[in-house]
Structure 1
Amino acid sequence: MKHVLYALITFTFLVSLSSCRKDLEFSPSSGNLLFSKDTVYLDTVFTNIGSSTYTLKVYNLNNDDINIPTIKLGLGEDSEYRLNVDGIPGKSFQNVEILAKDSMFVFIETTIDIDNLPDTNGEFLYTDKIEFDSGFNQQEVDLVTLVKDAVFIYPDRDNTTGIIETLTLNIGGEQVETDIQGRYLMPDELTFTNERPYVVYGYAAVPNGETLTVEAGARVHFHANSGLLVAEGASLHVNGAFSPDQDLLENEVIFEGDRLEPSFSDIPGQWGTIWLLEGSVNNIINYATIKNAGVGVLSDGNPDESGSKLQISNSQIYNSSNFGILGRNTSITGENVVINNSGQSSFAGTLGGRYNFTHSTIVNYWRNSFRQFPALLLNNFTETQDAVLIADLNEANFNNCIIYGNDNPEFILDEVEDNSVVFNFKFNNCLIRFSDPNNNFTDDNYDFNNLDLYDGIVRNVDPHFMDTENNKLIIGENSGAINIASPTYVIGTTQFDILNVDRLSAETLDAGAYQHITF
């Protein structure tokens, strides 16, 4: 009997409780929804490349639970937008419920084929709206996306097997099949213009005997694990020019990832590298910005090439997840080069080679993770599974440069001593960050009193950069780099700094890529 009585009481209590719950009774929407934004800008996307997912939050501030009869895209099923309302995908929804004083999420994406839009001349502003309810209660949130047309370069895919084309390279005189996805550029693709951006999937390879010319103002975007590859006997000529507007960089050539949303603007490691293979020749990069790569520029071999295998000038390399420039037994000349924010070293000259940098700012203010290597690394070896290979460091000269960062020391000379190879380097009139309180670096390479190795050096004085986090590395009026440079190295293109300021007409002659300003 007690059990029956207990069950009766429990049942009565549940009935009483349910009869008091208002949240099971949903009132029709009255058009009083509140939105986290009245317009959702999906930023810029390339044609046929999906956008990021954007979020709209919808609030019910009423004291009653409500039912929204319809939520739909204004263009209906023809809309290029996609919605997900409270976890359900679609383009229209019925009877969507929101509890009192509660909210829900609407997620928005798009993939737009610009060929399906009206004549766009390369760009089109695509718009739609999300409509909540109808009639007098209808509320709207606008959707806006700028769509850019582009030249797409991608490897072939076998539709039957799904296998993507890979590159065959000439390595040491042998044709070697690799697993690098990509293809060689065709003759009509060997000039990148500034008319439309380029989007590269896989590695776009420059064939033997050919030159890829990239014109001033060109924009080259790489998908993940993609890049440029300059094969044996081939060349890369990046012909950027000075840009009066340093925000637009209208005349510079820009290499970056293919995600255009602002949240991706400074994310390292979005694409692979510009790879100058051993045997590639006469590579020239002038007025370029290379950002968000794994390795900005990778140069292999040709250490004794007349002149340099790579001549890079007036260029900036930022946000590389590994190295800004990585040289492996190669030859590089750099003038007015700025490198910052690299997961390992901003510049690494490894396995010997020839390196000459003048009026360059080689720094590393990486903050994304622990950093093992300094801003500048020089060595004369590489380790393989079976042996340690060594080679001559024939020369490594840094003249009127800044070598600095948020670690200390910011350069390391890692020499394997062997009488069969040389290790030649010199720093002239540079501001460098190097202190050794624990006496870890005691060999002759770090004898700062040796004028054959270090001449006119200033150590551990703040460069007074404008904003290292945002890669603004112009120096201010309190910089330790002011007036420490030597006119001996101001010749040719280095007469003007990277902002086209005449160094020889300035009151002071400053180290690094920039003459100082007041800020």
Structure 2
Amino acid sequence: MIIAGLSLLLVDCTPAEEEITLDPKARLTFSTDTLFFDTLFTDTVSFTRRFRVFNPQDNAVNLSSISIASGESSFYNLLINGIKEKRFNDQIILGKDSLLVLVEVTIPSRDENTPFLVEDSVVFMTNENIQTVNLVSWGQDAHFFRNDSIIACNTIWPADKPYVMYGSILVDSLCQLTIEEGAEIYINKNATIFVKGSLLVTGSADKPVLFRNIRLDIEHAPGQWTGLVFLEGSNNNQIDHAVIRNAEFGVRLGTPDNDTIPDLIISNTIIENMSGFGILAFTSDLWAYNMVVN
């Protein structure tokens, strides 16, 4: 009798928020019904998005499963309590408490020029109740430069797909890189475009050439990549109708010579959100007009 009474006392002392409810009407609430990733470059692990799962009941609930609807074939992953999986079982949320769920996605390439939709959902099973949070992202194939690279001579970059630079590139001496109107170049932290030969950027008013940071979720933050550096010996450079954004500096020109012929002509171009300077030229011949620099 003493043992039985002690057991009863322990049960009675269990806090309500720790008692697991079996009520089939118990439902969860969520901080969002849809998690958007916007546009992501293919074959690259995304940054994480997050949402919270709330238990509004007084008692605890046992989530018998939290899973990606497409299972192992999904491009999405869940991260809960530091563990990455596509499915979790028996996750308990105390009464009036919540659970943080992180989601990441890696979208494989499809060899397509335009963005494509990638959808899935997170499925929550609680006392036979099924609830979902939608997952939405857009994949974008690109030309990738994953390491420091020397560009082949007389290369032309058309505007078919974005150009994504994880490492720096070099346009070597006696070589030219031509970037056509509408091309978009996305550049990672600490990556630089070095020009020892010639750079020809042929944007237009309707289709400017874009140079910017690789993180699409960071629109207006300076210092996200290095900038364009024209090295000694570089000449016959032209940048027309371009937007250079979110770098440490826009253009650095150091091409000393004995003539007054412009080594670089920049026109109809916006250089914005620099952490340092927009244009730095020393002992060089530069002609710039119709510019916005900040």
The separation in 1 between residues aligned to 2:80 and 2:86, in whole angstroms, is: 9
Paired residues, number: 290
Q: 1:105 is matched by which residue type in structure 2?
A: L
Aligned to 1:126: 118
CA shift for structure 1 position 31: 5.4
The separation in 2 between residues aligned to 1:210 and 1:32, in whole angstroms, is: 65
Aligned to 2:210: 254
Matched, 1:240 2:203: yes
Counterpart among 130, 136, 149 of residue 144 in structure 1: 136
Deviations 1:361-387 (A, max 9, x none): xxxxxxxxxxxxxxxxxxxxxxxxxxx
Matched, 1:219 2:184: yes
The separation in 2 between residues aligned to 1:73 and 1:86, in whole angstroms, is: 17
The separation in 1 between residues aligned to 2:26 and 2:173, in whole angstroms, is: 66
> TM-score normalised to the size of structure 1?
0.53
Using CA pairs under 8 Å that are at least 6 residues apart, name the structure with larger relative contact order, 1 or 2: 2
The separation in 1 between residues aligned to 2:272 and 2:252, in whole angstroms, is: 14
Deviations 1:85-114 (A, max 9, x none): 244321101111111111111001112211
8 Å CA contact 2:63–2:127 kept in 1: the answer is no
8 Å CA contact 1:290–1:317 kept in 2: the answer is yes
The separation in 1 between residues aligned to 2:100 and 2:259, in whole angstroms, is: 60
The separation in 2 between residues aligned to 1:284 and 1:147, in whole angstroms, is: 32
Aligned to 2:267: 313
Aligned to 1:206: 171
Deviations 1:214-258 (A, max 9, x none): 111010111221121111xx1111111112xxxxxxx00000111
User: What does residue range 38-77 of structure 1 map to in structure 2 within 5 Å?
Assistant: 38-77=33-72
Q: 1:333 is matched by which residue type in structure 2?
A: W
The separation in 1 between residues aligned to 2:259 and 2:77, in whole angstroms, is: 55
The separation in 1 between residues aligned to 2:57 and 2:138, in whole angstroms, is: 36
Q: 2:226 is matched by which residue type in structure 1?
A: G
- Give unpaired runs (5+ residues) of structure 1: 1-11, 156-181, 244-250, 341-519
**CA, structure 1 residues 87+152, in 2 after alignment: closer, same or farther (shift >3 Å)?**
closer
CA shift for structure 1 position 21: 2.1
Residue 109 of structure 1 aligns to a residue in which SS?
strand
Matched, 1:228 2:193: yes
The separation in 2 between residues aligned to 1:40 and 1:24, in whole angstroms, is: 30
Q: 1:201 is matched by which residue type in structure 2?
A: Y
- Give unpaired runs (5+ residues) of structure 2: 1-5
8 Å CA contact 2:18–2:94 kept in 1: the answer is no
The separation in 2 between residues aligned to 1:80 and 1:255, in whole angstroms, is: 29
CA shift for structure 1 position 59: 1.0
Aligned to 1:335: 289
Aligned to 1:277: 231
Aligned to 2:240: 286
Aligned to 2:3: none
Matched, 1:98 2:93: yes
The separation in 2 between residues aligned to 1:217 and 1:31, in whole angstroms, is: 53
CA shift for structure 1 position 121: 4.3
Deviations 1:118-160 (A, max 9, x none): x7444321111000017961011110110100011243xxxxx
**CA, structure 1 residues 198+226, in 2 after alignment: closer, same or farther (shift >3 Å)?**
same
The separation in 2 between residues aligned to 1:288 and 1:199, in whole angstroms, is: 17
**CA, structure 1 residues 99+135, in 2 after alignment: closer, same or farther (shift >3 Å)?**
closer
The separation in 1 between residues aligned to 2:14 and 2:48, in whole angstroms, is: 40
Residue 138 of structure 1 aligns to a residue in which SS?
strand
The separation in 2 between residues aligned to 1:269 and 1:66, in whole angstroms, is: 46
CA shift for structure 1 position 185: 0.7
The separation in 2 between residues aligned to 1:229 and 1:25, in whole angstroms, is: 64
8 Å CA contact 2:78–2:104 kept in 1: the answer is yes
**CA, structure 1 residues 18+304, in 2 after alignment: closer, same or farther (shift >3 Å)?**
farther
8 Å CA contact 1:302–1:309 kept in 2: the answer is no
Aligned to 1:372: none
8 Å CA contact 2:249–2:277 kept in 1: the answer is yes
Residue 126 of structure 1 aligns to a residue in which SS?
strand
8 Å CA contact 2:54–2:97 kept in 1: the answer is yes
8 Å CA contact 2:239–2:267 kept in 1: the answer is yes
The separation in 2 between residues aligned to 1:195 and 1:20, in whole angstroms, is: 64
Matched, 1:25 2:15: no
Aligned to 1:476: none
8 Å CA contact 1:69–1:95 kept in 2: the answer is yes
**CA, structure 1 residues 135+77, in 2 after alignment: closer, same or farther (shift >3 Å)?**
farther
Q: 2:201 is matched by which residue type in structure 1?
A: V
CA shift for structure 1 position 201: 2.6
Deviations 1:396-430 (A, max 9, x none): xxxxxxxxxxxxxxxxxxxxxxxxxxxxxxxxxxx
Residue 278 of structure 2 aligns to a residue in which SS?
strand
8 Å CA contact 1:154–1:204 kept in 2: the answer is no
Residue identity (%): 35
> TM-score normalised to the size of structure 2?
0.91
8 Å CA contact 1:31–1:138 kept in 2: the answer is no
**CA, structure 1 residues 302+242, in 2 after alignment: closer, same or farther (shift >3 Å)?**
same
- The root-mean-square deviation of aligned C-alpha atoms, in Å, is 2.4
